[in-house]
Structure 1
Amino acid sequence: MPPVPGNSGIWCVEWWAGSKVPRFISASGFRKATAAVCILAVLVAASPSRGQQGATAPACNLRSAGESAIATVTGPQTLRLADGRMIRLAEIIAAPPLPQQGGDTGHDATSYLKGALGKKVEVKIGGAERDRYGVTNAHLFVAGDPPLWLQQQLVSAGIALAAPQADNKSCFAALRAAEAIARAERRGNWGTAVFKILPASEPRLVANLVQTYQIVEGVAKGVARSGSRITLTFSDDKRFGFRAYAEGAAAKRLSGDGTAIVGKMVRIRGWVERKAGPSITATLPEQVEVVSGEEGAILR
């Protein structure tokens, strides 16, 4: 629910008949609203100082691909701009609600994004201009002083997960930091069963979430290499235990000191697959973290 420049108000999550609905409430409307919990800051008319303006800029390398306005929200992380471009928000996964997880439907990113309809945005990209389907994977910044980074707003509100991509990963560190704060403060879906770090020691729980993007954590019990692939195991259950496979750049980072990871808490993020048991395949080093304290260190 990015704050929208030109409107003075508050983004809130309201409880209506037991459901949590993200809405933008005007300053006057907020005075009338009841049972509302506000998850983002009050918008003020005064312009921020230069020091404040730089506070929301991502610490990553992106190039501008022009400006337009958001014409249509077509999905939880896809939009059409007024100039006709289809945009997929890069480096995040804004998953649809997963009602099978404890009955929680979670917060809907599509509804969240509709708060920015008609607003002018700058398009910034870190990879190819368009993919083979004609879609631009990009970061969007809602015009304002300072501009508001849509991806960071979604992740900070607990509506999306940070997700590095092969040619879009320069902003991952900033998004992962925002995700950690949202998780610690149980914002958005982190306050439900929709977003959670899954224990590698419970493979059946992970297996129930095949074809969804998840974060799984556990102590690495073993490392094995087969050709160019490295396998991390997290239990003695060879039949159904959770496994993480490292391929490509992720495998290269592990190849030198893979055994050093044994006995350490490892966090893997990616798409859950079902082979012999549940697994995640990591192709990027950013998908694998060795956890130290509350937050982990990406493989270096």
Structure 2
Amino acid sequence: MTDAYPTPTVSTEWLADHLDDPKVVILDSSYHLPTVKRDAATEFEGLRIPGARFFDFDGKIKDPDADQPHMLCSPDRFEREVGALGVSNDSFVVAYDVNGIFSASRCWWMFRTFGHENVAVLDGGLPKWEHESRHVETTSPTQPKPATFKASFHPHLVRSAQHVLDALETADIIDARSAGRFLAKDPEPRPGLRSGHIPGSFNIPFQNILADNGTLKSPDALKAIFTGAGIDLENPIITSCGSGVSACNLALALYVLGREDAAVYDGSWSEWGLREELPIET
């Protein structure tokens, strides 16, 4: 990582000052839960940060054969898709989303999983950018010039159900879903899933790590949240959620705290809650 580019987040001020930097590639990584009935790709067509390209991890940049939603794709597919977006190994990627900090962290985690550390999340996302009356594009997006990207898979950053099952006694597993879903008091948004949580896991709803303006809380505040929930920051850590999106927000916060090795359970509850042979607690 060059010293010129900050990670794991950049401010709106920083991005505004670097819009013309040829190495900076801005990716709109917006995603909406199926229950929201919004189309992130269509919204991107109508409004975006200048020069942004759409990072479609729910449609294109995923494993097309997986039963669970937007599972991590193969290195070859990732290379092809991000290369088509104009991302090279020399690029500094800035991911944002329309919710503030929600799905942009999935993009950040995917790039890191494929060996690209030159990536950051826009702190506060599009809401903060617009609140500050910064320029946006509303005309049709231009087609980026393709680039060459070579992936280097880092398997320690992604966990399977078997990995989680084997780590129940040794790792701190943190669930980013709401307390209601974690405690089986609220229904799951996806049909056919059991209610509850992975045995022994901790609950930190991802909204808890965000300040009122949608930015990440301070490192001291983040540390207090994790330790206050009972997590030992020296233990192996796996984050989980509904489908592997908001778990990446916890991984982002843990990165700030020096835990760059925090792994994400990719299938999360969309897999664990579906498979009857896997244990649950309520």
TM-score, normalization: structure 2?
0.29
Judging by fraction of residues, say which structure has more strand: 1
Quick one: higher RCO (CA 8 Å, sep 6+), 1 or 2?
2
Judging by fraction of residues, say which structure has more helix: 2
For the pair shown, which has the larger CA radius of gyration, 1 or 2? 1
TM-score, normalization: structure 1?
0.27
